[in-house]
Amino acid sequence: MENFGPANSYPPTSLPGSFAAVQGITVLRMASAGYATSSADDPADTAYSPRLYGDISVSQSAVDAFGIGGRVAMGIAEFEVANADSALNNLIAYGTADGRNAVIRVVPVTALQASNYGSSLGSATLAFRGVVQRVDGGAKQRARITITDMSERLATPLQVRKYAGTGGVEGDASLTGAPHPVALGDVFNVTPVFLGNVELGDGALPTYAVNYRAVTGISAVRMRGVEQASTGSAPTVGQYKPWLSSGMFQLGSSADGVVSCDVEAGAGDYSATTGGLIRSLIQDLGPQLADADIQIEAFELMDTDIPGAVGWYRGAEEITAAAAVDEILAGSGAVLCGGRAGTVRTFDPFAAGDAQFALASGTILDLEPVSKPPGISPLPHKVAVDWARNWTPLTDMAAVVTTDRRRLTSPASGPVRVTSPGITTRVLQQRELRLPGLFTAESGASDRAARIAAYFEASPRMFRVTTDRYLGRIEAGDLGAIAYPAYGLDAGVGVVVLAWEELLAGRRLVLTVSTVPWVTIPPLVTGGDGLDYFILDTDVVA
């Protein structure tokens, strides 16, 4: 309804087009050298002004998170652009670009004279898709732009559903503005949110919420550690009635101490694994990412790599999606980050699999050893992983509780410990790496501990490798194989990528890798000396 029409020609509730469309969004297009799209491109016949100074370095590092898990932020190191014409002043002053999408593409120069250098925009390589973190003014009439990855979108409150504090299931005034609780997977002894005495059909009874949505079970409710009996009818003293579809339960009497419960909540449409819980956190909650916003296959791989069931709970306290994800990642040593294509992805740095890249000496510009991060140096001789976390360690337990007293007072069961005999023998300083596992079963924790211990037992080394191959393709967590005539790498080793930095115009890719013992391809060849060789370089094999 951009124009006025005859009376009654439009329904009275019609909105002008300007109300429905996003207004005032300008796409800034800039390039290291002037570029113009072709008439067949989208957008067609559009100029990219030459504003960039120097090269763009795209980088990502999971080195600090290695072994302990966590989120990895990708930073494009503050590339500078010309601002002598003040074109970016509003972006600097008002932050109008902050948080907006940014795409970096690379086009090969095949025809220097052509305005598109012989490469259409459609054929450009996507180097990175992310969001603008900030635009700052700089010296010499320049501006600095920092772009980060899509995991920046996790910096948002996990739970948008808040209690109104108006009574009933909205809680009393003390809960006003507090988030609804979140339970994922099976969680043990959590503290439910007390809503007050609420009428749900059996009279006004003490009512507790354990999840913002339906749960599949509330298998135990305790009052100062004393288990209450479940009932399907109106509860009386010593009983509770679960309201599974509402994620609540009611007690038959007022509580005389700490109330806690065991909840089976599942993870919505996802599996109750590390990968599934993270998907629920970022797709059902927090930033509510769509399937297109995440790398689904990476999460599916996570289910294979870390299959153990886990659980996570948060009461009526605020937390960001990023902090929630960090808690789950820390429990297994997994890593979540943004991918080059602008999707959120995850990976297990201890995963086994096929080599996704191979670099032999002829393709390596430089290779040098680097120090291991402090978290794994000296190498731990034991890996310990907690399981069955107790979300409410009790300090005031009724005397009548005779069973499970230790489990109810301890923060978690376990831990499961796996000892490396080799490291115990070789390394004087005995260290233990302990992960605050969220596994519900001991088997999940023990599998994880064994996997990480196997990595340490193989005496990992770390290297920085510079190459001009695999540009625009390598992601953190990728497995590969490297052979180099130095540092004992003649025979080739399997590696996992922990960090990468790519210079887009410089055509250089710098990988920080750690050796791993479980890369399966390229195929192994056993040489006459009994050693295993990767078939990477004919000279090496010969």
Edge to edge, the sheet with strand 229-230 lists 193-199, 204-209, 248-251, 239-243, 229-230
Q: Does 291 bind another protein (CB under 8 A)?
A: no
407 vs 469 by CB, closer to another protein: 469
269, two tokens? 């449409």
The yes or no reply on residue 117 touching another protein (CB under 8 A) is yes
**Nearest distance in Å: CB 295, another protein:** 30
d(CA 497, CA 169): 49
User: Could you give the CA distance from residue 537 to residue 315 in angstroms, rounded to a whole number?
Assistant: 56
d(CA 217, CA 231): 13
- Contacting residue, 93, 109, 204, 531, with another protein by CB under 8 A: 109
Q: Is 146 among the residues that bind another protein (CB under 8 A)?
A: no
For another protein, which stretch binds (CB under 8 A), given 72-80, 112-120, 158-166, 292-300? 112-120
Among 16, 54, 95, 485, binds another protein (CB under 8 A): 485
Establish if 363 lies at the interface with another protein (CB under 8 A). yes
Residue 481 · residue 518 · CB < 8 Å: no
- The yes or no reply on residue 72 touching another protein (CB under 8 A) is no
Considering the complex, what minimum distance in angstroms separates the CB of residue 333 from another protein?
A: 34
Q: How far is C-alpha 301 from the geometric centre of its chain's CA atoms? A: 14
Is residue 507 a contact residue for another protein (CB under 8 A)?
yes
Answer yes or no whether residue 413 interacts with another protein by CB under 8 A.
no
- Cis ω on the peptide bond leading into residue 235 (within 30° of 0)? no
Q: How far is CA 146 from the centre of its chain?
A: 21
Q: From edge to edge, which strands make up the β-sheet containing 413-419? A: 413-419, 382-387, 432-439
For residues 437 to 476, the per-residue mask of contacts with another protein, x marking binding by CB under 8 A and - elsewhere, is -------------------------------x--------
Strand, coil or helix: 507 = coil
Least distance to another protein, CB of residue 490, Å = 12
Please identify, among the stretches 114-122, 195-203, 244-252, 382-390, the one whose residues bind another protein according to the rule CB under 8 A: 114-122
Count of H-run helices and E-run strands, the chain:
9, 34
Q: Between 56 and 72, whose beta carbon lies closer to another protein? A: 56
Q: Does 219 bind another protein (CB under 8 A)?
A: no
User: Closest Cα to residue 438, out of 184, 262, 233?
Assistant: 184
- The yes or no reply on residue 141 touching another protein (CB under 8 A) is no
**499: region left, alpha or beta (phi > 0 left; psi from -120 to 50 alpha):** beta
- Give the chain's largest Cα–Cα span: 93
Strands ordered across the beta sheet of 259-264: 186-190, 259-264, 217-223, 226-227
Site track for another protein across 16-45, x = CB under 8 A: ----------------xxxxx-xx---xxx
Minimal distance in Å, beta carbon 372 to another protein?
23
**What span, in angstroms and rounded, lies between the C-alpha atoms of 48 and 208?**
58
Measured from the CB atom, the residue of 93 and 114 that comes closer to another protein is 114
Q: Are 465 and 482 in contact (CB under 8 A)?
A: yes
Q: How far is the CB of 43 from another protein (least distance, A)?
A: 7
Please, which residue, 160 or 365, has the CB nearer to another protein? 365
Q: Which is nearer to another protein, 431 or 469 (CB)?
A: 469
CB of 25 to another protein, least distance (A): 17
Total site size for another protein, rule CB under 8 A: 34
- In whole angstroms, the minimum distance from the beta carbon of 24 to another protein comes to 19
Please report, to the nearest 10 degrees, the dihedral formed by the alpha carbons of residues 429, 435, 436, 438 taken in order.
-150
Burial class (CB in 10 A: 0-12, 13-18, 19+), 155: middle
Q: Does 125 bind another protein (CB under 8 A)?
A: no
Residue 481 identity (one-letter amino acid): A
- Pick between residue 464 and residue 508 the one whose CB is nearest to another protein: 508
**Near another protein by CB under 8 A: residue from 28, 46, 165, 330:** 46
Beta carbons within 10 angstroms of residue 533's beta carbon: 19
Q: Which residues contact 53 (CB under 8 A, 6 or more apart)?
A: 79, 80, 81, 82, 142
State the minimum distance, in angstroms, from the CB of residue 538 to another protein.
14
Could you count the other beta carbons within 10 Å of the beta carbon of residue 429?
A: 9
Least Å from the CB of residue 499 to another protein: 20
Measured from the CB atom, the residue of 122 and 506 that comes closer to another protein is 506
Residue 419 C-beta: closest distance to another protein, Å: 39
Stretch that binds another protein, among 241-249, 252-260, 280-288, 360-368 (CB under 8 A): 360-368
Interaction between residue 506 and another protein (CB under 8 A):
yes
Task: Please give the residue ranges that form the binding site for another protein (CB under 8 A).
Answer: 32-36, 38-39, 43-47, 49-50, 109, 111-115, 117, 361-366, 468, 485-486, 505-508
